[in-house]
Structure 1
Amino acid sequence: MQKWVYRFFIELTNHRLSSMLLKKFSQSRVSAILIPSYAKIYNINQAEMEKSLTDFATLHDLFVRQLKLNSRHIDSNENTVISPVDAVIEETGMITANKEMIVKNKHYSIQEMLGDENSLAKYIGGTFVILYLSPSHYHRIHSPISGVITKQWDLGWKSYPVNRLGLKYGKDPLSKNYRKITEIRVNDTYVAVVKVGAMFINSIETTHTSDFVKKGEEIAYFSFGSTVVLLFEKDRFTFSPEISPSTNIKMGEVLGTLNKER
């Protein structure tokens, strides 16, 4: 019953009109009146922001804020994989032989998430990590490794919440929501960076201009809180011991290590 009520409410509110109105409002100067209360409610760390709170013309500008130089330490070890975002680690695990990952006791189709058979084959038996960005987080996305972008594609058009309730009761938001996928190759291994849109505002804007990206380089941003899923090939990635669900992590901190070449 709880699942049905949750989905019914989301369907009533999650339509193009409501999304358009919310997006238009957040990008209007009228929305600036909410900036002080938003910063207070979500405990925004103003000390690390590139601009002061009064310099933001709209609420959207605050959503996509940039940080002061050196606000994040980027681990420089050649083999490490860093978190591409400030986030909460929602889940880690293995990609099953059935082409699924299990999150909050729900089975999510990696095949549906990627929508590409050629890309899918590489990740069966591999590892995944889900990074959830709340409205309080810094919303810009950075490359988790240094490498070559071999492919980038979009899927989906509608988005459901990707918070804990959304993952538990929603309509498979990680594999059905609007998403922008970037595949990066480093040496002979691939990492898929799946950027998943949030409810109401599906905006995922890419910012990189080259096919080669450096670890820690900005590659995109969300216009609202959302989720990033990283997919790794079988036997090619080892998590750091301190990484576990419900852990907070900042962009640049180590998620784990890429294993040596085959």
Structure 2
Amino acid sequence: MISEYLSKVLHGAVDNVISWNAHWGWVSCDRKTGRLEREKQTLWRKIKLLLLFNPLTEWVDTTQAMRLYTHNRTIKQGEKEGTLESKKDIKLFVEEFGIDMNEYKPSDINEYSTFEDFFVRAHKDGSRPTHEPSNHAHAVVAADSRVVAYESVAEAKHLWIKGKNFSISTLVMDTDLGSQFYGAAVASFRLSPQDYHRYHSPVSGKVKVFRSIPGDYYQVDAIALQSDVDILTRNRRVYLVIETESFGDVLFVAIGATNVGSVNIIDAEADKYRIHEKFQQIGAKFAKGDELGYFQFGGSSIIVAFQNGRISFDQDLLDLSKQRIQVAVEIDMSLGYATN
């Protein structure tokens, strides 16, 4: 069992030089260059994920003690990142992950008062042009992230999201809504801490449903997603059902994770937990590429589901996803086109 899990951990070609600080993350294909690469992740972090999410120890993750520890750790980390002292961490973070600050505003790291302010930094206008902005029948990428796309939930469960109880119904905690997305095509976007953490709408439309669901803050690393632990249906999340002319109803789910203090929803503990207020209202309209909200304090995940037969994902995304290779994408790139 462990040897099988190690093969998942080291998916793809092994680095020529083994280093604790080498890139040990899951294999991705850079959509711009076509090159295969792995996320920048230390070997130690990968080992910790292996120890937590493997068939012999996953039972630990079902205990209340583990959930409470992870939740409290996340809240404390979020509080730390909001302090003035955290500003000193920005420079090292930018250097470690090679972040090009010329793409952001402000571009001078000294203009951010805390790490939290830096974490939710905004793109400069024009740095991420929207694919075919006037064509509402063409969906776009929701976040700077690594994405996999599958033509059905069943295929997604077989190849990528292995949580034993994962379904659209359990994701939204609503069997009636889940039935509307039976056989849905699914795009799963996974954001790492170094990514731009604002998320945008993949389609043009208006808000039909807005809802938030309390939960925990488990890892959303590829290793965790491919374990039997129900990561996506346990974590704190907020979702919109978007009514569109071209795609029918589209489900957009923003999911918090370890070291993510918020998915920007209204919360009794902190009023900063919110998706942008104007999009909390039923009937609120937006165009594809419009910013819907943002995550705070770490990695996170987005699920976008399209009703059965309503979208054809781009072929490169489908082909690589079938090989369990993530595609490194930028916000507002092409995702797919409406079929009805």
| The two structures share one fold, judged by TM-score above 0.5 | yes
Query: Is the aligned partner of 1:37 residue 2:122?
Result: no
The percentage of counterpart residues that share the same residue type is 21
Query: Is the aligned partner of 1:257 residue 2:316?
Result: no
CA deviation profile, 1:111-167 (whole Å, cap 9, x unmatched):
111111221112111200101111111000111111011001111321100011221
Question: Relative contact order (C-alpha < 8 Å, sep 6+): which is higher?
Answer: 1
SS at match of 1:182: strand
The alpha carbon displacement at 1:54 in A equals 1.2
Query: Is the aligned partner of 1:214 residue 2:287?
Result: yes
Aligned position for 1:80: 138
d(CA) in 1 for partners of 2:157, 2:316? 21
Aligned position for 1:48: 103
- Do 2:136 and 2:288's aligned partners in 1 also have CA atoms closer than 8 Å? no
SS at match of 1:255: strand
Q: How does 1:76-115 map to 2 (within 5 A)?
A: 76=133, 77-96=135-154, 101-104=157-160, 106=162, 107=164, 108-115=166-173
Q: Choose between structure 1 and 2: higher strand proportion.
A: 1
d(CA) in 1 for partners of 2:237, 2:161? 22
The alpha carbon displacement at 1:172 in A equals 1.1
- Do 2:218 and 2:257's aligned partners in 1 also have CA atoms closer than 8 Å? yes
Amino acid at match of 1:242: D
Query: Is the aligned partner of 1:247 residue 2:327?
Result: yes
Amino acid at match of 1:73: P
The alpha carbon displacement at 1:65 in A equals 0.3
Query: Is the aligned partner of 1:146 residue 2:204?
Result: yes
Structure index of larger Rg:
2
d(CA) in 2 for partners of 1:117, 1:5? 31
The alpha carbon displacement at 1:109 in A equals 2.2
Report the TM-score, using the length of structure 1 for normalisation. Answer: 0.90
Aligned position for 2:117: 61
Amino acid at match of 1:207: H
d(CA) in 1 for partners of 2:277, 2:336? 24
What are the ranges of 5 or more consecutive residues in structure 2 without an aligned counterpart? Answer: 3-50, 265-274
CA deviation profile, 1:215-237 (whole Å, cap 9, x unmatched):
11111100022111110101101
The alpha carbon displacement at 1:101 in A equals 3.6
d(CA) in 1 for partners of 2:300, 2:88? 24
The alpha carbon displacement at 1:104 in A equals 3.1
d(CA) in 1 for partners of 2:161, 2:218? 18
The alpha carbon displacement at 1:19 in A equals 2.1
d(CA) in 1 for partners of 2:83, 2:234? 29
SS at match of 1:20: helix
- Do 1:178 and 1:202's aligned partners in 2 also have CA atoms closer than 8 Å? no
CA spacing shift, 1:163–1:222, aligned 2, 3 Å: same
- Do 2:153 and 2:167's aligned partners in 1 also have CA atoms closer than 8 Å? no
Alignment match of 1:191 (pick from 232, 243, 250): 250
- Do 1:96 and 1:124's aligned partners in 2 also have CA atoms closer than 8 Å? no
Aligned position for 2:299: 225
Q: How does 1:117-196 map to 2 (within 5 A)?
A: 117-169=175-227, 171-187=229-245, 189-196=248-255
SS at match of 1:242: helix
CA spacing shift, 1:40–1:6, aligned 2, 3 Å: farther
Report the TM-score, using the length of structure 2 for normalisation. Answer: 0.71
Amino acid at match of 1:82: V
d(CA) in 2 for partners of 1:28, 1:132? 27
CA spacing shift, 1:197–1:86, aligned 2, 3 Å: same
